[in-house]
């Protein structure tokens, strides 16, 4: 699954395996997009052409064990994935980069921004998990059931996270996602992430320096209080140059695919501010 039919998958070789990514190779500031667990880089398929047309070099990556990245990694923590992101920034040698992450990927890019502030020009958090939420017994049972039942159960749950409307290609996307997750070793990666903790990321939130845009679907079922979660994140990012919260009314966990035009409307001005600041500083 790729973000653009014209693109060709590239790979970042690391000590335990390789990370798959797409690169528009266009001139402009570098934006790296990171998906959440159980998903692939093609989830950014509606944002990539818009960002490219607006003058950005857009790179979308698969998490380790997902998509076209290799399987069999010993570690699937959000902090380790954050280090994968930083390795990609160094590999591309076009930073500092604007990092964009959804859900589990949001935790990863937050950690990356905290660990290497000079490598990160801006941070976009899309319904990101940056700390451990308390879970009810029913939620724990649901996670256990999905983890046990595998790709089919996950994709059914995934579909439910689009609460207002689904993309026109949703059936095709889900079929490809399910097929990918059924490949050997892929759902094992997703399962490991389901039981991961974000405690280390939370402990480093105040070390983030980059200006940050927090985008949250107002009806995201993964959070008991999406607006409250956005405020919590903004308050914890006390060291960030700036924080901006944008609630996408009526959207679920994937607002940039569910309501792409509304996300683009708040994302592009934020990216433009970073671009102008970079020109001024230069």
| Domain parsing of the chain, residue ranges | 10-281
pLDDT over 90 at 6, yes or no:
no
Amino acid 139: pLDDT: 73
Average pLDDT of span 220-249: 97
pLDDT in tens, 115-158: 999 999 999 999 999 999 987 777 778 788 888 889 999 999 99
Which range has highest mean pLDDT (1-5, 85-89, 133-137, 273-277)? 85-89
In angstroms, the CA 59 to CA 32 distance is: 5
The arithmetic mean of pLDDT across residues 84-93, rounded, is 97
Higher-confidence position of 146 and 76: 76
Q: In sequence order, what are the residues at sequence separation of 6 or more whose Cβ sits closer than 8 angstroms to the Cβ of residue 175?
A: none
pLDDT at 265 exceeding the cut of 80? yes
Residue 3 confidence class, pLDDT cut points 50, 70, 90 = very low
Asked whether the predicted pLDDT for residue 279 surpasses 90, the reply is: no
Structure tokens, 37: 């667990």
Question: What's the mean per-residue pLDDT of the chain?
Answer: 94
- The class of domain 10-281 in CATH terms is alpha beta
Percent of the chain having pLDDT more than 90?
88
Within 10 A of 212 (CB to CB), how many other CB atoms are there? 25
Determine the pLDDT at residue 124: 98
pTM for this model (two decimals): 0.95
Lowest-confidence segment of 101-115, 132-146, 201-215, 262-276 by average pLDDT: 132-146
How high is the pLDDT of residue 141? 83
* DSSP code of residue 185: T
What is the DSSP secondary structure assignment for residue 206, as one 8-state letter? G
137-149 and 151-160 helices, crossing angle to 10° = 130
Q: Is the pLDDT of residue 216 over 60?
A: yes
Phi-psi region of 38 (alpha: psi -120 to 50; beta: other; left: phi over 0): left
Q: What does the alpha-carbon distance between residue 217 and residue 163 come to, in Å, rounded to a whole number? A: 9
Rounded Cα–Cα distance for residues 183 and 170 (Å): 20
Strand pairing report for 10-13 and 18-23: antiparallel
- For the cut 80, the answer to whether the pLDDT of residue 282 exceeds it is no
In contact, 47 and 139? CB cutoff 8 Å: no
pLDDT of residue 5: 41
């Amino acid at each position: 699954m790729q973000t653009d039919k014209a693109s060709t998958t590239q790979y970042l070789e690391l000590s335990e395996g390789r990370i798959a990514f797409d690169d528009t190779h266009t001139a402009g500031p570098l934006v790296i997009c990171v998906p959440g667990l159980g998903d692939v880089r093609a989830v950014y398929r509606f944002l990539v052409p818009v960002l490219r047309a607006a003058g950005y070099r857009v790179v979308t990556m698969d998490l380790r064990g997902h998509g076209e990245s290799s399987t069999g990694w010993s570690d699937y923590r959000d902090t380790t994935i954050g280090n994968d992101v930083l390795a990609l920034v160094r590999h591309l040698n076009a930073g500092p980069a604007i990092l964009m992450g959804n859900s589990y990927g949001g935790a990863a890019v937050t950690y990356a921004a905290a660990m290497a502030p000079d490598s990160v020009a801006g941070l976009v958090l899309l319904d990101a998990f940056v700390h451990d939420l308390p879970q009810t017994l029913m939620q724990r049972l649901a996670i256990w059931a999905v983890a046990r039942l595998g790709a089919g159960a996950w994709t059914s749950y995934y579909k439910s996270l689009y609460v207002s409307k689904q993309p026109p290609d949703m059936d095709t996307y889900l079929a490809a996602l399910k097929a990918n997750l059924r490949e050997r070793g892929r759902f094992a990666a997703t399962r490991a992430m389901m039981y991961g903790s974000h405690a280390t990321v939370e402990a480093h939130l105040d070390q983030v320096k980059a200006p940050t845009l927090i985008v949250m679907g107002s009806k995201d079922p993964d959070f008991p209080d999406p607006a409250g979660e956005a405020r919590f994140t903004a308050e914890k990012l006390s060291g960030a140059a700036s924080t901006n919260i944008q609630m996408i009314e009526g959207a679920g966990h994937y607002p940039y695919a569910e309501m792409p035009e509304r996300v683009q409307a708040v994302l592009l001005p934020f990216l433009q501010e970073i671009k102008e600041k970079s020109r001024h500083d230069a």
